Amino acid sequence: MNRKILILVGILISVFFLWYSLKGTDFGEIGEGLARANFWLCIPLLTAFCTYYWIKAIRWRMLLEPMKKTTAREIFSPMMIGFMFNNILPAHLGEFVRMVLGARQLGLRNTQVLATIVLERVFDILSVVLFLGIAILVDRNVDPDLVTVGYITSALGAVFMVVTVLYVTWTEGFLALLNRVTFFIPPLSRIRGLGFLLKLRNGIIHQLEIGVQGLYALKKPRLLFGIVLTSLLQWSFMGLSAYIAMLAVGIDTPLSAGFVVLAATTFGVTLPAAPGFLGTIQAMFKAALVPYGVSADAAFAASAFFHVPTYLIVTLPGLYLLRRTGYKLRQIQQEAEAAAGKGEGAED
């Protein structure tokens, strides 16, 4: 029932975002914008996009290294299959598909692999927030409201970095402190309609406890440096992909706009959504580009130019790689759902 509710919420969010992204647009103008697009730019766009995923595989290898030595090539398959599932199924189930396949392939427990995926998200957020803050602050022609956003995101990034350092260096004390400062949630959750607060709090603490296993990579300076470097590199290529999509449909903005779009879409796709993030990506392109004076029609055209080829370049290879594993799509989906249903930390 909870999963059905989450799927319904995701679909409603996608419908709302799609309505927002199309509000004030003209289908004829969108069509003309795409007809005039430079489709040769699909080549550098997809090159940058694929480079992003290869660097992501290199980073995942480093996160896994303290538990299991492997190669980026070996873990590329479960990673891409996971992202393919995110494209065709709701509720971000692909992360659990990646966990299950990765654990099975490497001979690790599900919790060990999930810990590295949780830690990935931490570095992703830090990297995207850093790029957003820099992109806004270096562009003197940015709308004043966006400059304010830049200062806020930079401050939040700094706070998040401090919290992360405390979590890494003082893990047990950090978790104990978190339990203490959320003491009010258990009694509050007894109020009708607020029971979800306790589940949310326990779920967050549980994820942090799981994440401890992924911290082993951060204890080694060589791995930590590599993880930080690859995090910044991969997101620079993703920002470049968004910028190329904008150039393809004739949007004339500074490179910094591509990283504002990057931040908007990255945070947007964390929300529940319909499969393939339809509507979410379009809405985030519009929200990020309108302050630059870009029309809603052009923003939608850029989002389509970005979304369609990148969706296909993940989904089609993912389906091929899944077929090579010998698993059926429904079979691995059920295993991932079972793992997710056990509190996002099935042991085996």
Domain that includes residue 44, residue range:
2-341
For residues 186 and 6, which has the higher predicted lDDT (pLDDT)?
Answer: 186
Query: Is position 25 within any domain?
Result: yes
CA–CA gap between residue 87 and residue 48 (Å, rounded) = 19
Find the mean pLDDT for residues 255-275: 85
CB count within 10 Å of CB 154 equals: 17
- What lies within 8 Å, CB to CB, of 186 at 6+ separation is 198
- Confidence band, pLDDT 50/70/90 cuts, at residue 307: very high
CA–CA gap between residue 305 and residue 262 (Å, rounded) = 15
Count of domains for the chain: 1
Q: What is the pLDDT of residue 345?
A: 47
For residues 74 and 93, which has the higher predicted lDDT (pLDDT)?
Answer: 74
CA–CA gap between residue 314 and residue 34 (Å, rounded) = 22
> What burial class does residue 62 get, using C-beta atoms within 10 Å of its C-beta: 0-12 exposed, 13-18 middle, 19+ buried?
buried
pLDDT tens, 225-240?
899 899 999 999 999 9
Q: Which of 83-87, 142-146, 162-166, 208-212 has the lowest mean pLDDT?
A: 142-146
Q: Which amino acid is at 305?
A: F
Of the CA atoms within 13 Å of residue 87, those in its CB half-sphere come to 19
Query: Is position 189 within any domain?
Result: yes
Token pair of 106, please? Answer: 């490497």
The rounded mean pLDDT for the chain is 84
pLDDT tens, 106-155?
998 888 888 888 888 888 888 888 888 788 777 766 666 666 666 776 67
Q: pTM for the complete prediction?
A: 0.83
Q: Report yes or no: 305 and 37 within 8 Å, Cβ to Cβ.
A: yes
Percent of the chain exceeding pLDDT 90 equals 37
Query: Is position 347 within any domain?
Result: no
**pLDDT over threshold 70, residue 249:** yes
Query: Is position 220 within any domain?
Result: yes
Query: Is position 319 within any domain?
Result: yes
Token pair of 39, please? Answer: 């489709």
CA–CA gap between residue 314 and residue 332 (Å, rounded) = 18
Query: Is position 346 within any domain?
Result: no
Query: Is position 273 within any domain?
Result: yes
CA–CA gap between residue 233 and residue 52 (Å, rounded) = 8
Query: Is position 256 within any domain?
Result: yes
The single residue listed with the structure tokens 């927030």 is: 129
Q: What is the pLDDT of residue 346?
A: 45
Q: Which of 14-23, 51-60, 146-155, 233-242 has the lowest mean pLDDT?
A: 146-155
The single residue listed with the structure tokens 């896994």 is: 64
Q: Is the dihedral of CA 266, 270, 274, 275 positive or negative?
A: positive
Q: Which amino acid is at 78?
A: P
- Give the number of residues written for the chain: 348
Write the DSSP string, 39-62: GGGHHHHHHHHHHHHHHHHHHHHH
Q: Report yes or no: 235 and 128 within 8 Å, Cβ to Cβ.
A: yes
Q: What is the pLDDT of residue 238?
A: 95
Task: Give the range with max mean pLDDT: 153-157, 161-165, 340-344.
Answer: 161-165
